[in-house]
Amino acid sequence: MLLALTVVLAYYVKGVCGFGNTLVFTSIAGLRTDISQLTPLDLLVGFVPNALIAWRDRKNACFRIWGPLALMVLAGDIPGALLLKYGDAHILKIGFGVLVILLALDMLLQREKKPIGKVPSILLGIVAGLVCGMYGVGALAAAYVSRATDSNESYRGSLCIVFTLDNLFRIALYFATGILNLELAARALQLLPMMLIGLTAGIWTVKKVSPDWIRRAVILALIVSGAALIINLSLIHI
């Protein structure tokens, strides 16, 4: 029941903001469950909306942007998946909590978009893949695309194509490495209705509530959930 409610909340945030589902899902569910189980679950559940958005906005996507980024993300997925499988679960959770707080603070600062150079962009793309491989978090890929596109349509289309290719690659990679199995796949299938409920409610909310209020609420929720994850793990190991 807790997992189902967390999925509703996570995809409510995605419906409102267009991202953030993995940050919310993993930081809340991670209080009781290992990330090595949560990442593949969120991967399968999130593949459906990512693929639908990619197909809907495919004409606005720019291959010059999503093509190189997809290659860099896929390259980073491999070491990320290996760290997920063989890394210490406690350290992974602490790392995720820190990442959530840093990303939330970055959103809070609302820094002006600036183009980045070729070498930094390559490093950002590979690190984005590493983070996707470990946690399934695409915020760094989103930061890359936001600095390379000049319209919301191009941003959504390019980013969701990267996410869809990343999802397909990681599904195969996780099965090959044993991170993903049929039991987790069956559980993800059961969670799909909850994903649709949350996503639909989020999209409806966007039409009724101020975007600034929603943004502040999401930032606060991310900071609190990330801090709670770190504190909970610290208390357990005292």
Average pLDDT over residues 6-11: 89
Give the pLDDT score at 174: 93
Q: pLDDT higher for 64 or 221? A: 64
Per-residue model confidence as pLDDT tens digits over 66-80: 888 889 889 889 988
Of 90-94, 104-108, 109-113, 233-237, which gets the smallest average pLDDT?
233-237
Residues 161 and 156: their CA atoms lie apart, in Å, by: 8
Cα distances (angstroms) measured from residue 141 to each of 9, 19, 32, 76, 229: 22, 11, 28, 11, 24
Residue 197: exposed, middle, or buried by beta-carbon count in 10 A (0-12, 13-18, 19+)? middle
pLDDT above 60 for 115: no
Average pLDDT over residues 187-198: 93
Average pLDDT over residues 233-237: 50
Per-residue model confidence as pLDDT tens digits over 15-57: 776 667 887 888 788 777 788 888 899 899 989 888 887 888 7
The pTM score is: 0.78
DSSP string, the chain: -HHHHHHHHHHHHHHHHSS-HHHHHHHHHTTTS-HHHHHHHHHHHHHHHHHHHHHHTGGG--HHHHHHHHHHHHHHHHHHHHHHHHS-HHHHHHHHHHHHHHHHHHHHHTPPP----HHHHHHHHHHHHHHHHHH---HHHHHHHHTT-SSHHHHHHHHHHHHHHHHHHHHHHHHHHTSS-HHHHHHHHHHHHHHHHHHHHHHHHHTTS-HHHHHHHHHHHHHHHHHHHHHHHHHHT-
Q: How confident is the model at residue 133 (pLDDT cuts 50, 70, 90)?
A: confident
Q: How confident is the model at residue 137 (pLDDT cuts 50, 70, 90)?
A: confident
Give the pLDDT score at 238: 47
Residues 54 and 223: their CA atoms lie apart, in Å, by: 29
Per-residue model confidence as pLDDT tens digits over 170-186: 999 999 999 999 999 99
Give the pLDDT score at 222: 64
